[in-house]
């Protein structure tokens, strides 16, 4: 693009997702961190709140003031809670900056659906049509042409990437989809809740929000667009004693007698050239440990010939490809950078 260093800001930079954004942006060759906000830690240096950044980032947290933030940065990441981000977007969007929102506030296109699942009135329904769903593998052109990206979280990312080739080609019964997903505890954010205490979480795996998880309509919306018809899914999230990682196991009925080799080739063709999608060979299954700290989504599958179902498994790091890494990937698309800039590299192992 022939531009200098891009000035970026991170609002809500004292949570897990915000801190992950700081880690990734510090290593981006074309980015300068210009401002960070936190209502709880305003006035404190980032390295005092997160010692991992000591000596690396001397910015002080400030309170979120839209005019001040927009004058400091060209691109603003919002790592704010659901139901909070929409007010910030409403204040920032008229100021001309590019916004990447990591909350769910602009992912659903129908304000009534949002209000039903999130239990609150949407404060900026006029901006919903302007928001591009921030999954680059499926929506790259829309991301490139917008000033507002609604960046998806970990559960929708793992499910949609695992199902997209099947939905687009119509090789499955779209009414037979069952998604079971297991997330690490960092997906719940940096809050003090009883169920996140070590003695509650350790050596324990449990399902929650059964048949009512609020990311369900988001998954259904995107799958319906891919299938060209209304799709309903059974989605059950689980919490496991992991810090990071998300494993999704997806099963659905095949409409014809495709075998695993055919379906693997379908996935390879669909994701050909995608820098962060890795289709595993037959007999290998994704693992959260392998993608830890990376922006990769690993996908594997098998066919149960006895039941006529395909089982697709995806693994991502919930804070990277399921959150901050995906948001940085969207920024790269928006700003004309190489899509892998600041993101390519192996995960952490062991």
88-139 confidence digits (pLDDT tens): 999 999 999 999 999 999 999 999 999 999 999 999 999 999 999 999 999 9
pLDDT of residue 341: 97
pLDDT, one tens digit per residue, over 295-341 is 999 999 999 999 999 999 999 999 999 999 999 999 999 999 999 99
- pLDDT category of residue 189 using cuts at 50, 70 and 90: confident
Q: Per-residue pLDDT for 195 more than 90?
A: no
- Predicted TM-score (pTM) of the model is 0.96
Share of the chain above pLDDT 70, in %: 99
**Residue in the structure block whose two tokens are 């659906």:** 113
Question: Please, are residues 105 and 83 in contact by the beta-carbon 8 Å criterion?
Answer: yes
Distance CA 231, CA 226 (A): 10
Torsion angle in degrees (nearest 10) through CA of 316, 317, 323, 328: -90
Radius of gyration of the chain (CA): 20
CA atoms within a 13 Å half-sphere pointing along the CA-CB vector of 62: 14
Mean of the per-residue pLDDT values for the chain?
95
Provide, rounded to the nearest whole percent, the portion of the chain with pLDDT above 90: 91
- What pLDDT was estimated at residue 256? 82
- The 3-class secondary structure across the chain, one letter per residue, is CCCCCEEEEEECCCCHHHHHHHHHHHCCCCEEEEEEECCCCCCCEHHHHCHHHCCCCCCEEECCCHHHHHHHCCEEEECCCCCCHHHHHHHHHHHCCEEEECCCCCCCCCHHHHHHHHCCCCCCHHHHHHCEECCHHHHHHHHHCCCEEECCCHHHHHHHHHHHHHHHHCCECCCCCEEEEEECHHHHCCCCCHHHCHHHHCCCCEECCCCCCCCHHHHHHHHHHHHCCCCCCEEEEEECCCCCCEEEEEEEEECCCCCHHHHHHHHHHHCCCCCCEEECCCCCCCCHHHHCCCCCEEEEEEEECCCCEEEEEEEECCCHHHHHHHHHHHHHHHHCCCCCCCCCCCCCCC
**Which uninterrupted H or E stretch holds 200?**
helix 198-201
**Interval 202-211: pLDDT, tens:** 999 999 999 9
Q: From 35, 5, 106, select the one nearest 327 (Cα to Cα).
A: 106
pLDDT higher at 196 or 27: 27
pLDDT computed for residue 1 by the predictor:
39
Name the class of domain 155-317.
Answer: alpha beta
pLDDT band (50, 70, 90) for residue 2: very low
- Residue 349 has a pLDDT of 87
248, pLDDT greater than 70: yes
Quickly state the pLDDT bin for 350 (edges 50, 70, 90): confident
Extents of the domains making up the chain: 6-152+321-335, 155-317
56-95, pLDDT tens digit by residue? 999 999 999 999 999 999 999 999 999 999 999 999 999 9
| Cα 69 to Cα 41: distance, rounded to the nearest angstrom | 16
Report the alpha-carbon distance of residue 149 to residue 135 in Å, rounded.
9
Clarify whether 335 is annotated catalytic: no
pLDDT digits (tens, 9 = 90+) for 128-182: 999 999 999 999 999 999 999 999 999 999 999 999 999 999 999 999 999 999 9
Q: Which two tokens stand for residue 150?
A: 């609604």
Residue from 244, 264, 262, 242 nearest 312 by CA: 264
pLDDT of residue 230: 96
Class of domain 6-152+321-335: alpha beta
Contacting residues for 74 by C-beta, under 8 A, at least 6 apart: 6, 7, 8, 97, 98
Q: What is the mean pLDDT of residues 221-228?
A: 97
Catalytic residue from among 154, 252, 297, 335: 154
Provide the pLDDT confidence category of residue 3 given band limits of 50, 70 and 90.
low
Q: Hey, CA dihedral for 117, 122, 124, 125, is it positive or negative?
A: positive
């Amino acid at each position: 693009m022939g531009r200098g260093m891009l000035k970026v800001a991170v609002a809500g930079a004292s949570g897990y997702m915000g801190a992950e954004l700081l880690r990734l942006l510090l290593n981006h060759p074309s980015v300068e961190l210009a401002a960070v906000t936190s209502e709880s830690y305003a006035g404190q240096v980032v390295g005092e709140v997160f010692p991992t950044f000591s000596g690396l980032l001397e910015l002080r947290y400030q309170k979120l003031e839209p005019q001040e933030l927009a004058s400091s940065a060209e691109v603003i990441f919002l790592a704010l809670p659901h139901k909070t981000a929409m007010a910030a977007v409403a204040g920032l969007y008229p100021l001309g900056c590019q916004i990447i929102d990591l909350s769910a506030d602009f992912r659903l296109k129908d304000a009534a659906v949002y209000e039903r699942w999130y239990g609150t009135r949407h404060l900026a329904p006029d901006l919903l049509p302007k928001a591009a769903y921030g999954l680059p593998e499926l929506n790259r052109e829309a991301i490139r042409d917008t000033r507002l990206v609604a960046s998806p979280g970990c559960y929708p990312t793992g499910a949609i990437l695992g199902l997209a080739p099947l939905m687009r080609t119509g090789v499955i019964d779209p009414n037979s989809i069952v998604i079971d997903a297991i997330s690490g505890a960092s997906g719940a954010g940096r809050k003090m809740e009883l169920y996140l205490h070590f003695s509650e979480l350790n050596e324990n795996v449990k399902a929650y929000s059964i048949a009512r998880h609020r990311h369900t309509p988001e998954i259904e919306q995107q799958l319906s667009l891919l299938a060209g018809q209304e799709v309903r899914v059974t989605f059950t999230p689980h919490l496991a004693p992991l810090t990071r990682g998300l494993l999704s196991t997806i099963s659905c009925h095949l409409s014809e007698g495709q075998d695993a080799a055919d379906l693997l080739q379908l996935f390879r063709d669909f994701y050909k050239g995608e820098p962060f999608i890795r289709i595993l060979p037959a007999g290998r299954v994704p693992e959260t440990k392998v993608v830890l700290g990376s922006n990769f989504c690993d996908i594997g599958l098998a066919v149960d010939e006895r039941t006529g179902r395909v089982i697709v498994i995806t693994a991502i790091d919930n804070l990277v490809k399921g959150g901050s890494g995906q948001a940085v990937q969207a920024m790269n698309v928006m700003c004309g950078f190489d899509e892998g800039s600041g993101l390519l590299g192996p995960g952490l192992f062991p």
